[in-house]
Structure 1
Amino acid sequence: PVKSAVPFGTVLTLPATGSEMNDGAVINFNKEKAKISFGSPHVFPKFSILEPELTYTLPKRQLANGITDSFVHIIEQYLTYPVNGKVQDEFAEGLLRILITIGPDVIDEDNHDYALRANYMWTATLALNRLLSKGVPGDWSTHALGHEITTLNQTDHARTLSAILPAVMVVRKLKKWDKLVQYAENVWGITEGSEEEKIDTAILKTVAFLKSIDMPTNLSEVDVKEEDIDTLVKQLDIHGKEAISERGDQTLDVSREIYRVALDLNF
């Protein structure tokens, strides 16, 4: 554990991880083929400067990465199971709707609209400043599986998330059923059809959104092949990810199935 740290402040240049308002970090260990996260109150910044104009030099790929990373951060804290966390759910659903609305405009690297970039920046901060996680379960399996892909072939973090998320929704549909219905109704405004039809439509809309911001939605698009799956699952095991998700019931076999489904998932 971190026992002390030099006091520091941050100047946000790439809205995505929420580091300007949280106590977490991720470090790549190339030799050990590991991407490991940690958190400590000692590494919470003393101050942070958020100036939307600093995003004006970002290329389209990094803007899309930032929107996606923020989106999945919210999903990881929301798409679990209901615990009557009305405030947290409302916060999460609102932030998701904002990202869906502004995402296609944000990734236009020549669109230097101050209000647009300000809303992007603040949404990314709120997505992972630990507010959404209070009193509700968290998943983080999409991140766990995505980290191993980055370690495997250096794919951008956010692109691993978008390549995995649809398969997580498909494979874990029964486990996440109630929240998927809520997600369909409150985020996407889907009110017609059976519960399963609402869920399936919401998954399709999620994929369409990710495609609209030029993000991959299956593993083939991030150069993962079928023969890589054994390596990915082995690395999950090595890194202690044999029982993950909001219930701790996503075994290595389930993770393998998610990788397998994600390989060629195409809507």
Structure 2
Amino acid sequence: MKNFIFQNPTKLIFGKGMIASLANEIPADKRIMITFGGGSVKANGVYTQVTEALKNHNTIEFWGIEPNPSIETLRKAVELGKMEKVDYLLAVGGGSVIDGTKLIAAGLLYDGDAWDLVLNSKLIAGAVPFATVLTLPATGSEMNSGAVISCKTTKEKYAFGYAFPVFSILDPEVTFSLPPRQVACGIADTFVHVVEQYMTVVGQSRLMDRWAEGILQTLVEIAPKIKENQTNYDLMADFMLSATMALNGFIAQGVSQDWATHMIGHELTALHGLTHGASLAIVYPGTLRVLKEKKGDKILQFGERVWGITEGSREQRIDSAIERTENFFRSLGLSTRLHEENIDNATIDEIERRFNERRMAYGENADVTGAVAKKILKSCLLSQPTGE
């Protein structure tokens, strides 16, 4: 196991009716800006719960943070927050609203353009405190310091990170009315978050491996059940907490990480607007196909412990584990091939160009360059998985 320093300061408040605790969690003397996405929080009752809890606080609202939050929208929020002298933020929504709010928090204390902070985190001088009410499990942004911000003008998407939420409220009941596709993308996003930290090399940490495998096993078990009954509290509680635990640093302690699939997926989102989880469902099986020799030992472990694959030659077991993974994503109703999303070779060439131009290299061995990213995407282009 590698050396590490671990700290996660976010307070997690979990369960039915816990949105009401906002009244006591945020100091009464704060000028709060509540950030939202679209209008779904009004339809599902979350807006009413939040505003009732904060009825004795000094609040303003900012609406319209879109999926894959854009700097164009967030600039408006920063401007409003400065004008209103906001000193506390509350993000009410999914990962995109929370990600956007993280940039707003830093942007409120910066004199220049907030996009500068995305491009160069060294410019961040601080951030106003912020909290979250999570409505869509997927990104884990409710309990980490990271965010991903897009620029519509240049069709770019970059990750940045600085501050953790002070606290996050997770009530599984708010997920009951989510569109099934959003749930499917959230499950895929959670799954790939785990394997980005797990599918590297064997023998680094028994504990981290078992913890990661436990989340994967949980997702595989509950996914078909959620598809049948999305209003089962215990199922959605397991999903919600799995998404949080997948990317709050707990399973990353002392182990190598990959993140190549995410970086490639970000480019698909930036260029085509493809939902983040949907992009990962396409790219990740391709990553395994192209890197199966280097990742072979870990794929074998994954195949045995998550999919129960114990028979066949080494190559057969590796191929079976990759096939089972791709078919899992398809069972969620997601595409796993680029042609299904009308993405062709022109996009693959552009992603290779971007990787090369930025001198990007990802993976636990820093060997997923533009050329390797191209191979991964080529493997995702046409043919369907054989197990379909």
Q: Structure 2-normalised TM-score?
A: 0.66
Contact 1:220 1:264 in 2 (8 A): yes
**For 2:171 and 2:371, how far apart are their aligned partners in 1?**
44
User: Which of 168, 186, 193 is the equivalent residue of 1:48?
Assistant: 168
**What percentage of residue pairs aligned between the two structures are identical?**
44
In the TM superposition, residue 34 of structure 1 has moved relative to its aligned partner by 1.0
Which one has a bigger Cα radius of gyration?
A: 2
1:112-133 CA deviation, whole Å, 9 max, x = no partner?
0100100000000000001111
For 2:297 and 2:199, the matched residues in 1 are separated by: 9
Deviates more, 1:77-86 or 1:123-132: 77-86
Cα distance in 2 for residues equivalent to 1:265 and 1:133? 34
Shift of 1:230: 1.0
Ranges in structure 1 where 5+ consecutive residues have no aligned partner: none
Please name the residue that 1:134 is paired with.
253
What residue is the counterpart of 2:221 in the other structure? Answer: 101
Q: Which residue of 1 aligns with 2:282?
A: 163
Q: What are the equivalent positions in structure 2 for 1:1-267 lying under 5 Å apart?
A: 1=121, 2-40=124-162, 43-108=163-228, 111-241=230-360, 243-267=361-385
> 2:196 touches 2:257 (CA, 8 Å); kept in 1?
yes
Q: Structure 1 residue 221: deviation in Å?
A: 1.5
- In 2, the alpha carbon distance for the partners of 1:87 and 1:212 equals 29
Tell me the secondary structure at the aligned position of residue 62 of structure 1.
helix
- Taking CA–CA contacts closer than 8 Å with sequence separation of 6 or more, which of the two structures ends up with the larger relative contact order? 1
**What amino acid is the match of 1:128?**
L
Q: Secondary structure of 1:35's match?
A: strand
Q: Greater shift after overlay, 63-72 or 76-85?
A: 76-85
Cα displacement (A) at 1:239: 4.1
CA deviation digits over 1:30-77, x for unaligned, max 9? 11221100112xx20111101000111210110001000000000100
Q: Counterpart of 2:260 in structure 1: which amino acid? A: S
Displacement after TM superposition at 1:197 (Å): 1.2
How many Å apart are 1:166 and its aligned residue? 1.0
Q: Which amino acid aligns with 1:30?
A: K
1:133-177 per-residue CA deviation (whole Å, 9 max, x = no partner) reads: 110010000001111111111011111110111111110000101
**CA RMSD across the alignment:** 1.2
Give the gaps of 5 or more residues in structure 2: 1-120
DSSP 3-state at the match of 1:138: coil
- The letter of the residue matching 1:250 is V
Displacement of 1:235: 2.1
Secondary structure class of the residue paired with 1:190: coil
- On the 8 A contact 1:21/1:129 being kept in 2, the answer is yes
Q: Distance in 2 between matches of 1:177 and 1:168?
A: 12
